[in-house]
Amino acid sequence: MSKIIPVQKNDFVEVEFEDLTHEGAGVAKVDGYPLFVANALPGEKAKVKVTKVGKGFGFGRLIELYEKSPYRVEAPCAIYKECGGCQLQHLSYEGQMVAKEKQVREVLTRIGKLGNVKVHPVLGMKEPWHYRNKSQVPIGEHEGGLIGGFYQRRTHQIINMETCLIQQSKNDEVVQLVKEICGRFGIRAYNEVAHKGMLRHVMVRYGLVTGEVMVVLVTKTRELPNQEKLVAEIVKQVDGLTSLVLNVNPNKTNVIMGEETRVLWGQEVIHDYIGDIKFAISPRSFYQVNPEQTKVLYDKALEYAELSGEETVIDAYCGIGTISLFLAKQARKVYGVEIVPEAIEDARRNAKLNGIVNTEFAVGAAEKVIPDWYEAGISADVLVVDPPRKGCDQALLETILAMKPKRVVYVSCNPATLARDLRILEDGGYRTIEVQPVDMFPQTMHCEAVAKLDFIEEV
């Protein structure tokens, strides 16, 4: 017998919110039935209109607040409620830290059955605004002119934006200039429904330490009208421009970048530093968007690795070698593996750039390469993983349990899959010593964390 749903669409109900979803919506329950409501905070009491009802949960719209959270603030962004870029501007930064620590604690307990593990308070930012060093803006048209911004929540409708409070102000400035110049030279925006037009996205990367700027024009076509004059004008107008690149994506797809990339002017990379390590960043490099907090994250990973200079370290999911190069300064040898060939090219280039000679990088899936290394006699004293949101592949976890490195440092961008994987490693003889959440993305619900695990015994 199916459970009776206690509300219907268009009902008005009075509720008290008790949690936040991973998208930042408030969670209230009506006779045990969850309602998700945007712009609501835990502890608040409100009148809500039910807007959608499903079998397991429903959605509502905030009508009237009876009791406000002490952490509620006025969102400073004028388009916050329409834009999908942030979820938590209406929650004070102190409140965000509380919510993110709670999120990590709860998933470790609920999914990982690790309620006794020490979880430290979140390491946040002194200034939690204007931190992103990479802007990726979809381009559209309105009343004959080019517009660019974030997509409206749950749509592909572009909300035009001139400034973004979580972007480096330099990125905003460059996006506006490029948008204006392209419009002046008759560049039409790509229309994803009709699959016509040219300019799909403008991407800007900014080296926070070096001041170098990269502009990437993502287009449907290989050539642009007035291309020489267009390039000359962008070069003239954009201060600090080091690299101007065209990326061609002719496909009908939501994927931003295509396979073909060519330099229109300047270098193929820009450079930046995390700590004292210099990185070459190409258009398609994965490079952390918050370099200040990346240093905090990597310092904690390095602390947890407890290196003496004698260890062999394996860095799974090594990307462009960011963590690997930090580890290499304190280890005997570091092996890195990454499935994206361009990332491994970047990793090797970055090692050479910094004069680091005790690293070795391989292209391939971590769950395939690391078992091959193990069979060939390469075994890690310390193993570092920094997987995508889906967490570690089962084959990699099995290899870790077979290899038995004395320590595992798990860098996670998804607390839920972190908790799942920690449970598997704990069942295989590891003990989670501590977990440190790090706020890499203020004003959003995303929270990264670093976990330290030691091998304790055979099970």
Helix axis angle, 394-403 to 366-375, nearest 10°: 30
Torsion of CA 117, 123, 129, 130, to 10 degrees: -100
Q: Report the distance separating Cα 331 and Cα 351, nearest Å.
A: 14
CATH ID of 98-126+290-455, from 3.30.450.20, 3.40.50.970, 3.40.50.150, 2.10.50.10: 3.40.50.150
> Do residues 63 and 47 touch, judged by C-beta distance below 8 A?
yes
The three-state (H, E, C) secondary structure of the chain, written as one string: CCCCCCCCCCCEEEEEEEEECCCCCEEEEECCEEEEECCCCCCCEEEEEEEEECCCCEEEEEEEEEECCCCECCCCCCCCCCECCCCCCCECHHHHHHHHHHHHHHHHHHCCCCCCCEECCCECCCCCCCCECEEEEEEEEECCEEEEEEEECCCCCEEECCCCCCECHHHHHHHHHHHHHHHHCCCCECECCCCECCEEEEEEEECCCCCCEEEEEEECCCCCCCHHHHHHHHHHHCCCEEEEEEEECCCCCCCCCCCEEEEEEECCCEEEEECCEEEEECCCCCCCCCHHHHHHHHHHHHHHHCCCCCCEEEEECCCCCHHHHHHHCCCCEEEEEECCHHHHHHHHHHHHHCCCCCEEEEECCHHHHHHHHHHCCCCCCEEEECCCCCCCCHHHHHHHHHHCCCEEEEEECCHHHHHHHHHHHHHCCEEEEEEEEECCCCCCCCCEEEEEEEECCCC
Fold of 134-274: OB fold (Dihydrolipoamide Acetyltransferase, E2P) (2.40.50)
Whether 134-274 and 12-67 are alike in CATH topology: the answer is yes
pLDDT score recorded for residue 2: 58
Establish whether 318 is a catalytic residue: no
Q: How far is CA 243 from CA 173, 208, 223, 278, 334, in A?
A: 16, 15, 18, 17, 31
Q: Which residue in the block uniquely carries the two structure tokens 């330290």?
A: 452
pLDDT score recorded for residue 248: 96
- Joined together, the tokens standing for residue 314 give 């394996």
Query: For the chain, which ranges sit under pLDDT 50?
Result: 1, 459
Q: Report the distance separating Cα 306 and Cα 297, nearest Å.
A: 15
Out of 77, 182, 392, 413, the active site residue is 413
Q: Name the CATH superfamily for 12-67.
A: Nucleic acid-binding proteins (2.40.50.140)
For strands 407-412 and 12-20, give the pairing: unpaired
Q: How far is CA 312 from CA 203, 298, 343, 353, 358, in A?
A: 38, 18, 22, 22, 10
Write down the domain spans for the chain. Answer: 12-67, 98-126+290-455, 134-274
Q: Report the distance separating Cα 397 and Cα 128, nearest Å.
A: 35
Q: Report the distance separating Cα 203 and Cα 283, nearest Å.
A: 9
Q: How far is CA 356 from CA 61, 278, 295, 382, in A?
A: 55, 11, 19, 19
For strands 241-248 and 213-219, give the pairing: parallel
pLDDT score recorded for residue 458: 58
Give tens-digit pLDDT for 43-85. Answer: 999 999 999 999 999 999 999 999 999 999 999 998 888 887 8
Q: Report the distance separating Cα 159 and Cα 240, nearest Å.
A: 28
Task: Return the number of other C-beta atoms located less than 10 Å from residue 252's C-beta.
Answer: 9
- Joined together, the tokens standing for residue 424 give 């598997």
